[in-house]
Amino acid sequence: MQRAVLVLALAALCSPALAQRSRAQPPAAAPSPPRAPGAPAPAAPPAANEPQRTTATFGDWTLRCTRVQEQPQTCQVDQVLSDKGQTVAQTVFTRPHPGDPLRLNFAVQVNVTLTPPVVVGVEGETGVAPIELTWRRCVPTACIADAILTDEQVKQLRARTENARIQLQDSNGRQVALPLAPRGLAQALDALAKEAS
């Protein structure tokens, strides 16, 4: 349940199309004709306002796409970090429109200090510039930071074979480092590019 709440909180903030749902009521359905005795009941048609969702897994990453009615499809690539069955954080890549730069979003439970930025670094490797994410807002279940990535930053992330780390401070000012697994990221980003084109 906690994972679902965190995923939905970040999806609503990162993808405006996911957060905007039509409030129009569907037209009343016409009465159905009587069934012959013993005939199976017809399958219920999908509700008009229900979003259509698809997912695909690439190693440690999941591509999620959602389409609501006639709105354009929105997609993201994400990785959820859990500890003892509890969701700790979620890392999400989005590209709002074809041709837009890739955006890296990060959501974590609200026990954080918002003054220093979130830093995505690389474990055990020098010469790779860290990526700083700026805190944007907090909702009851999570605080969200993001950054627009350069082509060089995307290239470095795609080439990773070892865990990167996400560094932040908790509410007591202690440094926290969370792992970011790279397996399948390049393939997931390729799939995201195809869906966004």
Strand ranges in 37-130 using DSSP code E only, listed in sequence order: 52-58, 61-67, 74-83, 86-94, 103-108, 118-122
142: left (phi over 0), alpha (psi -120 to 50) or beta: beta
- The CA distance from 111 to 83, in Å, is 15
- The CA distance from 102 to 96, in Å, is 8
pLDDT for residue 123 is more than 70? no
Q: Which residues are registered as beta bridge partners of 131? A: 120
For 74-78, 119-123, 186-190, which range has the lowest pLDDT when averaged over its residues?
Answer: 119-123
DSSP calls for 16-33: HHHH----PPPPPPPPPP
Residue 184's pLDDT band (cuts 50, 70, 90) = very high
Question: Which pLDDT score, from 0 to 100, does residue 127 have?
Answer: 58
Q: 104, 131 in Cβ contact below 8 A?
A: yes
pTM over 0.75: no
pLDDT for residue 26 is more than 60? no
pLDDT for residue 71 is more than 70? yes
Higher pLDDT, 184 or 38: 184
pLDDT for residue 125 is more than 70? no
b/e code 96-119 from CB counts within 10 Å (16+ = b): beeeeebbbbbbbeeebebeebbe
Residue type, 82: S
- The CA distance from 15 to 95, in Å, is 9
Residue type, 23: R
Q: 146, 104 in Cβ contact below 8 A?
A: yes
pLDDT for residue 86 is more than 80? yes
Starting at the earlier edge strand, list the strands of the sheet with 164-169: 52-58, 61-67, 74-83, 86-94, 103-108, 142-148, 131-139, 118-122, 164-169, 175-180
Domains in the chain, start-ordered, CATH in brackets?
Answer: 2-17+52-196 (2.60.40.1880)
Mean pLDDT for the chain?
A: 79
